[in-house]
Structure 1
Amino acid sequence: MRLTILALDDVFDTGLTVLLDTFSTANELAAAQGNPVAPFDVRVVGLGRQVRTALGFAAPVEPVDAVRKADWVVVPALNAKLPHLLLKALERTDVIEAVGYLRAWHAAGIGVAGACIGTFLLAEAGLLNGLEATTTWALAPLFRQRYPDVRLDDTRMIAACGQVVTAGAAMGHLDLALWLMRQKSPELAAFVARFMLIDKRPSQARYIVPDYLAHADPLIERFERWARSHLADGFSLQEAAKALSVTPRTLQRRAEAVLGKSPLAFFQDLRIERVQHLISLGEDLERIAGQVGYADSATLRNLLKRRLGRGVRELRAELQ
């Protein structure tokens, strides 16, 4: 498989090196198993002769013409973790030029993949319109507002739609590398995952910090504060809207636009977060249920299993 990594100035060092190290390890393991031909031909290209990483290292790159023979072009993240920094980065001349190249390569039949903030470049190129996609959960509100035609699911770690693939936050570069590897050899991908101690992470849901997302919008931030103070009371859309001096429809629509979920679903996220914290403190589950608005622990157990895929025993073991 011929892979081309498109690196731009201020590239996220970990994202770039994770991709390179994972495919390099795959080639080494394949050679050790007697494979005379490296399964992955990986090249790093850029718009100049070198790129400067976010940590200040200079990395040599090949010219973008090398992409012509690629099966996939992979876009690692830029180092722009906050919305205002990312918006500024998307206005850079080199980023705009790279977006044009991505559009042309995709039109020529080359697969295009992006991880974390790299997914924003695919969206800028219009390659995600009408498709399911994922991105770093921390910037999902900005993504939804900027690209309303994309069917974003920020709980996904990988979203693959034909010749376009997106991956989640930061270490999602690992998941993307393994996904690409599986297209060539599922057995080798499994071996690399075991060799490098890469755990399966099918979802970002367990990593999302609800109050971080709430800060993306003033109304949702106020709703988050109201919700935390009413976890023990249960949820009422009418009461929440009245407390915030908006209509229920306004609150519902704003939550969907910013968070990609209903106010009730966000309220449930806050419940789960509180439950996990109390479990880590060793609290009894019956007491915890009362603190988050449930009459008994059975309902809470079902919620945990449904939302996290794990029961109380597993959570206690993980949080110890």
Structure 2
Amino acid sequence: MRMTIVALEGLFDTGLSVLLDAFRLANKFAAAQPKGASPFFDVTLVGVRKKVQTAQGLIVPVKPITPDLKPDWVILPALATGSPEQLIPALERPDVKKAKAHLKQWHAEGAQIAASCIGTFLVAETGLLDQREATTTWWLAPLFRQRYPNVHLDESRMLVQTDIGVTAGAALGHLDLALWLIRQASPELAAMVSRYLLADIRSLQAPYIIPNHLAQADPLIMRFERWSREHLKEGFSLPAAAKALATSRRTLQRRCEDVLGKSPLSYFQDLRVERAQTLLHGSDLDLEAIATEVGYADGSTLRTLLRQRLGRGVRDLRADLR
């Protein structure tokens, strides 16, 4: 399988490193198998500049992009631009625009596109994700949703596959992406790499999302978040929230959908889940008492919500700190 990794100036060092290390390990284990039993990954690291420097100042030994380069997969590691103020100007850089042009050409020639974290923004810039599902780094989801309204974003997921390739979540989502790509060629090989790296493919980003970080993308949402935290025990009321925030129910509903991609009630439940997790980890309260603290009449309702949102049960969540 021919894999081309596109290195851009100021990329996220960890993202590139875990991709390279995962494919190197896969090739090592494949070479130890009987001939033809496992695939090799032909990895080429290219750049649109002759010299590429990472965010940590390391020089990346890239090859130039030539017409004979015909990858099966093109992979975009993230730029180390973790805020909208850094990312938006970076997307207008000449090297990023050149990379976008190459992406379109490779896709037209039949290559699949893979990106993780902020790398997903570059794919979205090409229009290739329009009318398709995608995920991205969770803390920039409001910006992604605003900038690319034609993309069906679900930042709660770690990996989203479509007909044009695959997008992955934040930061170490690069490792989830690499393991997923290896698994497409050989599930056995992916399992071996996973064991050596002590890592498994995660289906969800939801357990890692910090709701108040998302709220900071919009003043009304910030106020709604503060109101919600003060009223967790009382339960959710859209009319009461709108009245307290001096806005209409329709405006609050629309703003939540535009910024967060979810209803006010769904965001209120996110805050309940976050508070319940905190109490599960940092208190001796039983589930019934925790349910009361976050506005539920019984523990079974909270248990269901936690499993739906986090993909894990109460016992597993409490075991995290043991």
If the length of structure 1 is used for normalisation, what is the TM-score? 0.97
Equivalence for 1:184: 185
Equivalence for 2:128: 127
Equivalence for 1:200: 201
Equivalence for 2:255: 254
SS where residue 204 of structure 2 aligns? coil
Q: What amino acid maps onto 1:33 in structure 2? A: Q
Structure 1 residue 38, shift from structure 2 partner:
6.0
Equivalence for 2:309: 307
Structure 1 residue 104, shift from structure 2 partner:
1.5
Equivalence for 1:316: 318
1:67–1:193 Cα change, 3 Å:
farther
Q: Give the Cα–Cα distance (whole angstroms) in 1 for the partners of residues 68 and 268 of structure 2.
A: 46
SS where residue 44 of structure 1 aligns? strand
Q: What amino acid maps onto 2:9 in structure 1? A: D
Q: Give the Cα–Cα distance (whole angstroms) in 2 for the partners of residues 153 and 80 of structure 1.
A: 21
1:187-233 Cα shifts (integer Å, max 9, x gaps): 11111111211123111011100001100111101100000000000
- Is the CA contact (8 Å cut-off) linking 2:115 and 2:168 kept in structure 1? yes
Q: Give the Cα–Cα distance (whole angstroms) in 1 for the partners of residues 133 and 30 of structure 2.
A: 33
Unaligned runs of 5+ in 2: none
- Is the CA contact (8 Å cut-off) linking 2:142 and 2:214 kept in structure 1? yes
Question: How do 1:157-306 and structure 2 match up within 5 A?
Answer: 157-280=158-281, 281-306=283-308
SS where residue 128 of structure 2 aligns? coil
If the length of structure 2 is used for normalisation, what is the TM-score? 0.96
Q: What amino acid maps onto 1:117 in structure 2? A: I
- Is the CA contact (8 Å cut-off) linking 1:10 and 1:53 kept in structure 2? yes
1:7–1:246 Cα change, 3 Å:
same
Q: Give the Cα–Cα distance (whole angstroms) in 2 for the partners of residues 8 and 250 of structure 1.
A: 40
SS where residue 228 of structure 1 aligns? helix
Unaligned runs of 5+ in 1: none
Structure 1 residue 49, shift from structure 2 partner:
2.1
SS where residue 195 of structure 1 aligns? helix
Residue correspondences, number: 320
- Is the CA contact (8 Å cut-off) linking 1:4 and 1:67 kept in structure 2? no
1:151-210 Cα shifts (integer Å, max 9, x gaps): 000011111112321110011111111111122112111111112111231110111000
- Is the CA contact (8 Å cut-off) linking 2:45 and 2:63 kept in structure 1? yes
Q: Give the Cα–Cα distance (whole angstroms) in 2 for the partners of residues 91 and 302 of structure 1.
A: 44
* Structure 1 ranges of 4+ moved more than 6 A: none
- Is the CA contact (8 Å cut-off) linking 1:45 and 1:66 kept in structure 2? no
Q: Between 179-188 and 167-176, report the one with greater CA deviation.
A: 179-188
- Is the CA contact (8 Å cut-off) linking 2:303 and 2:314 kept in structure 1? yes
- Is the CA contact (8 Å cut-off) linking 2:224 and 2:241 kept in structure 1? yes
- Is the CA contact (8 Å cut-off) linking 2:71 and 2:106 kept in structure 1? no
Q: Give the Cα–Cα distance (whole angstroms) in 2 for the partners of residues 24 and 35 of structure 1.
A: 18
